[in-house]
Amino acid sequence: MTFPRLPDWLVYSAVVVAVLVAARGRQENADAPPPPPISAQEAALATGTLSESEAGEGEVRVPKSLSPSETGTAFSIAQSGVWLTARHVVQDCRQVAVIVAEGRGVVAEVRLDPHADIAVLLTEGGSPPLPLVSQVPVADGALAFHPGFPHGSAGEVASRYLGQQTLQGRGRAGRDQAVLSWAEVGRTEGLSGSLAGLSGAPTLDAAGQVVGVTLSETPRRGKIYSTTPASLAAALHLAGPTKTVESPDGVLDGAVGEPITVENYGRVADSLRRDLRVVRVACLRG
């Protein structure tokens, strides 16, 4: 007895459904655990506020409660004090501070990229840098991780690469730009709603290398957008030649990334924040 041959379109549809089901299963299992409680020593370092008389050169008091429009994320790319963030986080600020402890910040000089939604922050001294990938294209379906401070608190998101597209500019001096589009597949346990405050966070590949700056999201579609790797190379010129040191292999300050997986990205993100490689940024307007 012979069975009729299934139409090609039906076989193809079955394959597509299987892929979507597999992707859905991945999403349901890609959430990171909640951040661990800080130790007594870390709490002691972060409790006091900074008075005007206590503030050292380059330091500033930071209000404990900042609105979503007054805070964002940044990350170190050079030990000498070079950070990247999203331009829209800092472009309208009277003063910008890199937050190093509760109530304490270090004043940053701001240099805005005229072509991409990136800003370079310069401070006196910095933290161990994250390595940048500015030339290698992102592979289809690659995983990425976004550690930062959504809603002003520690949190991170996992995503999968969808492709490159053009993001339309909004607001003052907004302009269209090429971006990378990512589908969210997981986030910190307990983190719900929008990801406000994650703007400016590094978009890290599986090797722990920065492939872009996290910009925005479309919650309904579950998408996250970041700058392209090429925009990172262009932004480095804003820092100037004396603030970055490039090794023969093209890595700034000898930066090394830690491999990241769905299983460990929460732990890696906690470590990056603890070492002040990923920090909160305060936009002080008053």
Quote the CA–CA distance of 233 and 246 in Å, as a whole number: 12
**What is the tally of helices (H) and strands (E) in the chain?**
5, 13
Is the pLDDT at 125 greater than 90, yes or no?
A: no
Is the pLDDT at 72 greater than 50, yes or no?
A: yes
Please state the pTM of the whole predicted model. 0.80
Is the pLDDT at 181 greater than 70, yes or no?
A: yes
Is the pLDDT at 265 greater than 70, yes or no?
A: yes
Q: What is the mean pLDDT of residues 172-201?
A: 88
Q: What is the mean pLDDT of residues 82-100?
A: 94
Q: Which fold has domain 1-286?
A: Thrombin, subunit H (2.40.10)
Q: Which long-range contacts (CB under 8 A, 24 or more apart) does 176-180 make?
A: 177/115, 177/116, 177/117, 177/227, 177/231, 178/228, 178/231, 179/212, 179/215, 179/225, 179/226, 179/227, 179/228, 180/138, 180/211, 180/212, 180/225, 180/226, 180/227, 180/228
What percent of the chain has a predicted confidence (pLDDT) above 70? 74
Is the pLDDT at 154 greater than 80, yes or no?
A: yes
User: Reduced to 3 states, what is the DSSP secondary structure of residue 19?
Assistant: helix
Q: What is the mean pLDDT of residues 243-255?
A: 59
